[in-house]
Amino acid sequence: MEQATLYLSRDENLRANWQLNDPGTSGLGTGPPLIRDPVDTNARVHLDDRRRHLQFEGTVSAGDLPGQSSRLDCDQGAGKLNGRQANFTINGDPLATVAPEQPYRFEFTESSSGSRLNAKGDATPV
């Protein structure tokens, strides 16, 4: 993708335009295809999450870290979260390697409103 603009919304009942099925419906379905090699520079993102009372307007970039394409994916974003400046970075295993039998490792940093959050962990895909 190049020069993408994403409009993401979720209502109070958890219905989101990025989900294939509404919450609470039977069966998980296959969902949209997993993007295993995302590359986008400065995509515009407009998020309105009424369930979590979050609004974000800014830019997000996704792709491999320079010189580390076989090891990590990197997502970065900057913009306004609920009207205040916010920045985040997520570094994780390449999406191309995601498999149900192994954990997905990641590191996350976010700063906004004079606070900073750092997290490191792993998640097992379902």
Total-model pTM:
0.68
- Pick from 28, 36, 87, 33: nearest CA to 63: 36
Phi, psi of 71 (to 5 degrees): -115, -45
- Tell which residue, 44, 70, 47, has the closest CA to residue 58: 44
pLDDT, tens digit only, all 126 positions of the chain: 677 888 999 999 888 888 777 777 755 555 555 555 555 567 899 999 999 999 999 998 877 655 554 555 678 899 999 999 999 998 888 777 777 788 888 899 999 988 999 999 988 766
> To the nearest 10°, the Cα dihedral for 53, 6, 61, 95?
90
